[in-house]
């Protein structure tokens, strides 16, 4: 695959707060296309039909080829752009954020709006979590049942994700790991199993590794 990692959101999430009687609710979600981002924005609008504003920003493409934001009636530059800045500062792509405002009757001013929409997006992003999408490989390892406890323990100390395990007289384990770790992990599997593990590469893909999880 030989492509660069990128950061996106781990899941859809939301959070809310109140400032000067206005209630702000931030939403954030991973999306793969502009159409998916627009559907997500519409779903938030439908959930909050009576809200005063539904401001949003989204970034699509691993190279951030599509970037859009909207103030939805707030003064220009006070809502959509601050939301976008949060996504950009976090270096996120393939993501969408919507901040809903229920106006409480007290004007916040331009500075207050920028701070509020920034906070609304940041809270939602924090709730969603950041995942590093890295070029990865999925492998299958088949080994004798009697060796599995030792191999499983060793795997628990490595940067791998155990996707599936099937037990018969042998153990068939499906593992996801970074491309950069493939040779190291496959060599280690052979050592841990005394050369009896049969390893097959299943596919290559981008995998969501938690932000900050170090490679071996």
3-state secondary structure of 108: coil
56-115 pLDDT, tens digit per residue, is 999 999 899 999 999 999 999 999 999 999 999 999 999 999 999 999 999 999 999 999
Residue 131 near residue 208, CB atoms below 8 Å: yes
Cα distance between residue 187 and residue 202, in whole Å: 17
| Model confidence at 204: pLDDT above 90 | yes
Count other Cβ atoms within 10 Å, centred on residue 210: 10
What domain range is 40 assigned to? 6-128
Name residue 109's beta-bridge partners: none
Is there a single domain that holds both residue 141 and residue 101? no
Is there a single domain that holds both residue 111 and residue 24? yes
CATH number for 68:
3.30.230.30
Is there a single domain that holds both residue 158 and residue 206? yes
Is there a single domain that holds both residue 97 and residue 15? yes
Cα distance between residue 67 and residue 13, in whole Å: 21
Q: Mark which of 81, 105, 128 sits at the end of a domain.
A: 128
135-189 pLDDT, tens digit per residue, is 999 999 999 999 999 999 999 999 999 999 999 989 999 999 999 999 999 999 9
Reported as a pLDDT band with limits 50, 70 and 90, residue 211 is low
Q: Length of the chain, please?
A: 216
Could you give the number of structural domains in the chain? 2
Q: What's the pLDDT at 215? A: 43
Please check whether residue 216 lies inside any domain of the structure: no
Picking from 148, 173, 177, 180, the residue whose alpha carbon sits closest to that of residue 160 is 177
Please check whether residue 1 lies inside any domain of the structure: no
Please check whether residue 119 lies inside any domain of the structure: yes
Reported pTM:
0.78
| Model confidence at 214: pLDDT above 50 | no
The pair of structure tokens assigned to 145 is: 């049942």
């Amino acid at each position: 695959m030989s492509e660069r990692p990128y950061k996106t959101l781990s899941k859809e999430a939301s959070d809310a707060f109140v400032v000067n009687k206005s209630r702000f609710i931030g939403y954030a979600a991973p999306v793969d296309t502009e159409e998916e981002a627009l559907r997500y924005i519409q779903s938030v609008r439908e959930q909050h039909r009576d809200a005063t504003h539904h401001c949003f920003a989204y970034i699509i493409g691993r190279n951030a080829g599509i970037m859009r934001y909207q103030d939805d009636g707030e003064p220009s530059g006070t809502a959509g752009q601050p939301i976008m800045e949060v996504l950009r500062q976090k270096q996120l792509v393939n993501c969408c954020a919507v901040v809903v405002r229920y106006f409480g009757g007290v004007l916040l001013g331009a500075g207050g709006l920028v701070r509020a929409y920034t906070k609304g997006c940041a809270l939602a992003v924090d709730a969603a979590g950041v995942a590093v999408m890295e070029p990865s490989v999925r492998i299958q390892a088949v080994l004798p049942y009697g060796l599995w406890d030792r191999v499983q323990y060793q795997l628990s100390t490595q940067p791998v994700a155990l996707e599936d395990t099937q037990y018969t007289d042998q153990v068939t384990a499906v593992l996801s790991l970074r491309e950069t770790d493939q040779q190291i992990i496959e060599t280690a599997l052979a050592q841990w199993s005394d050369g009896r593990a049969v390893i097959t590469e299943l596919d290559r893909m981008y995998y969501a590794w938690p932000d900050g999880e170090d490679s071996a």
